[in-house]
Structure 1
Amino acid sequence: MPQETYRTPKLRDISVNERPQERLEAHGPQSLSDTELMAMILRSGSKGRNVLSVASEILQQASSLNGLLKWSDAEFKKIKGVGKVKALQLVTIIEICRRIRDRSPVSEPVLDSPDLVADYLKREAEELEVEKFWTLCLNRKNRIIKKVEITSGTASNSLVHPREVFREAIRHGASAVICAHNHPSGDPAPSAADIKVTRQLREAAKVIGIDLLDHVVVGNNRHDPKGLGYYSFQESGLL
């Protein structure tokens, strides 16, 4: 006897009140789960799989909606039921969401503690697979004037020269700066190179007359033995 192939129920076989489109029309988008929202974008499944099943697999593979920010069309095409056109539509929607998020007008925050610095950079840092170094240019009240990316690369070659850091601070009229960089591994413990460049920055700040308030290494709570998700040179007494 041939082995029976498992098939998920077709969407039309699901109760009308449980179908995403009908729920959307009756109760609005806030009533839909993440899976149902994804299903509304996909519109259709594949042979033997309904659209909710495909949407569920995408979110399971990405871990969350936020995880989709890292996906390319290649990741989407690995999901059975997502072809080239759907994959390109999905990455287009994600890029629109990213641009809306990044361009939303917000009041620039006051960064007067390392946890606030870490929170300010966390969303961007979580999406990175390479190490980046930023200069946060501040006014006299520690409100950020400008965030400037100084370098971008791997963990072994992303060290920064003080000249680059303070050139940007002078250009933007900063009274003080906070330096920050991410560790893609998630462990924010500083390396020997991190400590060396912080000492160089500290000495350069004294000569130039712009305060270096802190150097913060951003990781994540899961991989930080201390559970903070960041390391502060100022808190650790190294500044």
Structure 2
Amino acid sequence: MNIREWPVNERPREKLLHKGAGSLSDAELLAVFLGSGVRGCNVLELARGLLAKFGGLRQLLDADRESFLAELGLGPVRYSQLQALLEIGRRNLETSIDREAAMENPAAVRRYLKSMLRHEPSEVFGCLFLDSKHRPLAFEILFRGTIDRANIYPREVVRRSLLHNAAALILCHNHPSGSCEPSQDDVHMTLSLKRGLALIDVRVLDHVIIGDGEPLSMVEHGWMAG
């Protein structure tokens, strides 16, 4: 059935306008983005098929250009639009944490860090450098590794902290496996960096681990004491 023949309150776009974007399913949100279906398949059916093919919304958003363009109903225009939307989201999150001290809005900081790392296919390690009032100075990915490990060099973290004249920082890395649980190596490395950076008067405020679901704060779980 053509989606125009559906009851008005069941059409994704009208539902969004009436109830808000949060009321839509992943398929309905994707249908609003796509705008139209293909021959023999309305837009919601197309959206459901794409989610099934890729394994979910996250996997679709993280798909490389070649995989995306290979699917019926997608193309360079939609790929460009999607990448622009994702970048708008990242910049919006970055702006939201620029306006205030990072630790006054830890949820926004974690969302920003997740937006920067969640698409990485291998493990990466980054730092959000902060001034004396905990306002962001810069974000950098410092090390890239394999699917389950990235070698961290404390000297480089110290060097970049001095370069940015940082007074504090928030460490972060991703787990491509999806689990946010820190390993013993993660805990030991964090404590080692915390002690080393203290020698140059740079505080490590947190270490955020990015996986599936909500990012994990090591300081909130008590793994940074010591």
Q: Is the TM value for this pair above 0.5?
A: yes
- Partner residue, 2:218: 232
Mapped contact 1:11–1:19 kept (Cα < 8 A): no
Secondary structure at 1:37's aligned position in 2?
helix
Q: Distance in 1 between matches of 2:195 and 2:15?
A: 57
Q: Which residue, 108, 111, 115 being the options, matches 2:102?
A: 111
Q: Runs in 1 of length 4+ with deviation above 6 angstroms? A: 15-20
Secondary structure at 1:92's aligned position in 2?
helix
Q: Which runs of 5+ in 2 are unaligned?
A: 19-23
Secondary structure at 2:96's aligned position in 1?
coil
Q: Distance in 1 between matches of 2:10 and 2:216?
A: 43
Percent identical among aligned pairs is: 25
Q: Which runs of 5+ in 1 are unaligned?
A: 1-8, 222-227
* More displaced 10-residue stretch of structure 1: 133-142 or 150-159: 150-159
Q: Distance in 2 between matches of 1:29 and 1:188?
A: 32
Q: Confirm whether residue 37 of structure 1 aligns to residue 28 of structure 2.
A: no
Structure label with greater radius of gyration: 1
Secondary structure at 2:152's aligned position in 1?
coil
What are the within-5 Å matches in structure 2 for residues 1-239 of structure 1?
9=1, 14=5, 30=17, 33-34=28-29, 36-40=31-35, 43-46=36-39, 48-61=40-53, 67-76=59-68, 79=71, 82=72, 86-104=74-92, 105-108=95-98, 109-112=100-103, 116=107, 117-221=109-213, 229-232=215-218, 235-239=222-226
Q: Pairwise CA RMSD of aligned residues?
A: 3.7
Give the TM-score normalised by the residue count of structure 2.
Answer: 0.72
Give the TM-score normalised by the residue count of structure 1.
Answer: 0.69
Mapped contact 1:159–1:193 kept (Cα < 8 A): no
Secondary structure at 1:159's aligned position in 2?
coil
Residues 203 and 92 of structure 1: is their aligned pair in 2 closer, same or farther, counting only changes over 3 Å?
same
* Equivalent residue letter for 2:86: R
Mapped contact 2:123–2:175 kept (Cα < 8 A): yes
Residues 19 and 199 of structure 1: is their aligned pair in 2 closer, same or farther, counting only changes over 3 Å?
closer
